[in-house]
Amino acid sequence: MQYVIDMMNGTRCRLSITATASDVKSFMDTALRDLKKEAPKGFTLAGAAKDDPLLRRVAERAVSHMASVFSSQALREADKHPVARPWPEAEGGIALPAYGQEFKFVMLADVLPDIPFPDDFSALALEVREPDIPPAEVFRSIERLMRPLVKLEAVTDRRLPANGDVMDVSVEGDIDGMPVPGLKKQEMSLPLDSFAVERDEETSKTDLSRVVEKVARGLHVGEEGEGVMLCPENYPLPSLRGKPVRLKVTLRSLRRREVPSLTDETAVKLGYPDARTLKAKAYTTVMNRCVLSRREEANEALFRMLPGLEDVEVPESLQRIFLAEYMADMKSFLRNTGVENDPRMKEVLASSREEGQRMAEENAKRHVYLLAYAYKTGISIPEKDVDEQVRMLAVQAGKPVDEFRKGMEESDMLDSLEERMMAGKAMEKIYAAVKKVVVDAEGKPVPVPERS
């Protein structure tokens, strides 16, 4: 096999491939062995008529395999990394080869661009917020661990909800009479803290549970009230963000929680050696959640400072993949919230496409940058890690692992999964290299404790 690679732009290349007569013969012989059950006795490729249906099937199978193998080989030798399966340049596909004769064809491929990475990312200084854990969060975590011992009793006297109660409510929301996906009608059980908690009023305006709690606290069982929340900025449908959502809240029932005192005896009933250990578990759970949140914030900040990221050229096929994923998520969101067939949702979905294109480009740039860095630094993913990820995805999808894996292989999703895992490892490598400055809630650097 011989080939010539021409770069058409920074991410698309043209592969002119010449398969020798020996190559063609080998691939067609292999294809015939795969189809031998269909071959009549005495059938030979050399002696078959040009219009023989079996010869055509053999040639089609051979050229498909040949195009895949030789394209991959050429790109690998040229140190080009494809982001999607190469495709024929000709609109009608690749012509069929003749047995034992030289064969030429042309393929196109979208590849990762050349990115001038810095030799060392340690020149970057990244601010990371220190974990700050409000005592109320720890108390909630303790109560969650004690949930198996918590008793609920229906409140029979006519009174307003109080701290320590659980409010069972139904909620409906609309924007100018249009149902809000996720709020068409839902039932909620809201446990009220057993203690007074300070609320951030600005955050409360966009927090559904807080707005519902505020309304329901003023209701008796069976009564209905109204409240208004602002559609949050992270809501999946961009055209609804920031708009006022009118909420209709009904308090269906009220229950009182009886939470036992946290003693060593109580802790033992829950499987802990003593109360101190249970408290430590609650604190660690909240701390881990806070650390993870701070890491996500730091990752976003790091993306904003990565040198050269904004100038990354995104392969066209990868942009389409990310946009298709975004729109599929939007459709799934509407379907799961029960408003997919509402004619008003078509306009809402259409308006999401513009944001989808922006987000697809941004996410594709990040992916390209990290994947290119992964290849440059030799990052790879062990096969066992890929297998474990496939197993987890199959379980989530409720499908047999072998069947799920086969589907991923046929759709190129297995390679995509491995590449995304590589990109994740690349992010970890860059994050570990940058200089981290821990700051407090006001953005002031936190002194490093002196070692004794």
For every residue of 210-251, DSSP letters joined together read HHHHHHHTT--TT-EEEEEEEPPTT-SSGGGTT-EEEEEEEE
- Say if residue 177 is exposed, middle or buried (CB neighbours under 10 Å; 0-12, 13-18, 19+): exposed
Residue 344 pLDDT: 72
pTM: 0.83
Model confidence band, residue 452 (pLDDT cutoffs 50, 70, 90): low
Q: Which band of pLDDT confidence, cut at 50, 70 and 90, is reported for residue 82?
A: very high
CA distance 50 to 260: 86
Beta bridge partners of 258: 151
What whole-number distance in Å separates Cα of residue 412 and Cα of residue 304? Answer: 30
Share of the chain above pLDDT 70, in %: 97
d(CA 298, CA 131): 12
For the stretch 188-243, pLDDT in tens is 999 998 776 666 666 678 888 899 999 999 999 999 999 999 988 888 888 888 89
Instruction: Judge whether residue 170 has pLDDT over 60.
Output: yes
CA distance 96 to 42: 23
Residue 343: pLDDT above 80? no
pLDDT at 410 over 90: no
- Cβ(401)–Cβ(391) below 8 Å: yes
Supply the pLDDT for residue 408: 83
Max Cα-Cα span within the chain: 95
What is the tens place of the pLDDT at every residue in 115-126?
999 988 999 999
Closest CA to 85 of 314, 415, 420, 324: 415
- Quick check: 255 and 153 in contact, CB under 8 A? yes
Work out the pLDDT band at 450, boundaries 50, 70, 90: low
Residues 62, 100: contact at Cβ < 8 Å?
no
Question: What are phi and psi for residue 242, nearest 5 degrees?
Answer: 80, -5
The single-letter code of the amino acid at 330 is M
238 vs 3, 51, 262, 361, 366, CA distance in Å? 47, 56, 45, 16, 21
